[in-house]
Amino acid sequence: MSTTTKDDMTLLSSSHNKRRRNEKEGDEKTATTVTTNNNTNDTGTSRDYYFDSYAHHGIHEEMLKDTVRTETYKNAILNNKHLFRDKIVLDVGCGTGILSMFAAQAGAKHVYAIDCSDIVTKAKEIISLNGYDDSITVMKGKVEDTTELPNLKTFSTDNKVDIIISEWMGYFLLYESMLDTVLHARDKWLVPQNGIIFPDKATMYLCGVEDGMVKRDRIDFWSNVYGFDMSPIRDVALHEPIVDVIDSKQIITDTVPIFSVDLLTCSRASSKEYNNVNSFQSNFQLVTTRDDFLHGLISYFECEFTQVHAQTLRLSTSPFCHYTHWKQTVFYLQDVLTICENDDIVGVIDCKPNPNNDRDLDIQIQLVINGKFINNYQTQMMYRLR
Ligand SMILES: C[S@@+](CC[C@H](N)C(=O)[O-])C[C@H]1O[C@@H](n2cnc3c(N)ncnc32)[C@H](O)[C@@H]1O
């Protein structure tokens, strides 16, 4: 009989809310090949799920049911069998093994599927069940701690893989910090000449948004709760970006790129000051497209598979495209601004991992707005994505 308590349920549900990296204590240092565990009663506890949110099937269900996401990978792989035939593939963060099985279906000679979460036990079972035991080696461990890919020399004389596939993107693209894991795998195992990474490019965009209803509901709500002033919580809520669906009709400025990365060529430490791949600073200029009220800025990202045959495949999380589980990331401003068409918003966005917890991102946005009714409005907001 289940003995789940209310506290367990809270832990369980909070761990499903966000895609989160594994923080399970005592992870093996070196990746080990996974043997199948047939004991179906051996389910994780809520504490396990808290530290290892990817161990629970719920998060994988959400990702697999995101058809924009999963179909784009499927099309990229299965419509490019000529790239995969007889090739060695590394799946970084294999989860349920879905991308590895697409690669095996596409004719890969061998696939290495690595994941540090307990979900790999299920991936191993799934891969066996679908008849890919011989073509996919499943390994449990952190990619960074994995010293060798078993029998790689028997498949490849130079001890390298031809293709890396990975779905590493977090909210605001960089949340979860998995990009560095893929680059680590690239530097260690990808063939130096003509190596393929799916996807190989990513760009983050910024634009202005009218979002009065949600700002009132999620932020201003705290100013008057059953007649009590709870504005200390309003201050906290305002400084946490919200992951939410934004209707394209709410976008009231043009859109500008603020960060882009080429996974084939970028170095793991981009500059001295920003010596982390999850850090960037970008100046931006937005022009408002109609008379309206500005409540905040939103960010979204796009990834590209440029090494596919013929036309580049794009996976977009734009509000102008179909829904994805990444939604958009909203940064509310302190004030509501009355803007007119062709007003000018000039700013700087700066993103760094939090010094005390490098999985969290500290994002600072500085703005100056000049327009018909606004004269030199300046603001500086500090956000923490956690
Ligand atoms: C976003 S999920 C993608 C799962 C699967 N590839 C898919 O497309 O459905 C990312 C996976 O990467 C794993 N992961 C994150 N960081 C990792 C690391 N450093 N080493 C190994 N696996 C990692 C997580 O446990 C998670 O299962």
Per residue in 307-355, pLDDT tens?
999 999 999 999 999 999 999 999 999 999 999 999 999 999 999 999 9
Q: Which two tokens stand for residue 381?
A: 């907001």
Shortest-distance Cα residue to atom 9 of ligand 1: 95
- pLDDT digit string (tens) for 173-214? 999 879 999 999 999 999 999 999 999 999 999 999 999 999
The one-letter code for the residue type at 243 is V
Does domain 202-385 correspond to CATH entry 3.40.50.1100? no
The partner residues of 300 in beta bridges, in order of sequence, read 205
Q: Which pLDDT score, from 0 to 100, does residue 24 have?
A: 46
CB-CB neighbours of 322 under 10 Å = 10
DSSP designation for 288: B
- Cα(58) to centroid(ligand 1), Å: 14
Residues 6+ positions from 244 with CB-CB distance below 8 Å: 214, 327, 328, 330
Q: Is 167 a catalytic residue?
A: yes
Residues in the chain where the model's pLDDT stays below 70: 1-30, 36-44, 46-51, 269-275
The CATH architecture assigned to 12-167 reads 3-Layer(aba) Sandwich (3.40)
Q: What is the pLDDT of residue 50?
A: 61
Nearest Cα to 251, choosing from 284, 303, 216, 299? 299
CA–CA distances in Å: residue 118 to residues 20, 33, 292: 14, 13, 49
Query: Within 6 Å (CB) of ligand 1, which residues are found?
Result: 19, 21-22, 54, 60, 63-64, 93-96, 98-99, 114-117, 119, 142-144, 167, 178, 181
CA–CA separation, 113 vs 111, rounded Å? 6
Position 299 scores a pLDDT of 98
Determine the pLDDT at residue 272.
Answer: 45
| pLDDT score recorded for residue 317 | 98
Domain ranges of the chain: 12-167, 202-385
Residue 275: per-residue pLDDT: 60
Which member of 125, 167, 210, 304 is catalytic? 167
User: Which residues does residue 329 pair with via DSSP β-bridges, in sequence order?
Assistant: 243, 299
Q: What is the spatial distance between Cα 191 and Cα 66, in angstroms, rounded to a whole number?
A: 31
Active site residue 304: no
Q: State the number of CA atoms in the 13 A half-sphere of 346 facing the CB.
A: 7
Tens digit of each residue's pLDDT (9 = 90 or more) over 339-351? 999 999 999 999 9
User: What's residue 14's pLDDT?
Assistant: 34
pLDDT for 110 = 98
Rg of the chain's alpha carbons, rounded to an integer? Answer: 22
Q: What is the DSSP letter of 143?
A: G
Structure tokens at 206: 């910024």
Count of CB atoms situated within 10 Å of the CB of 61:
12
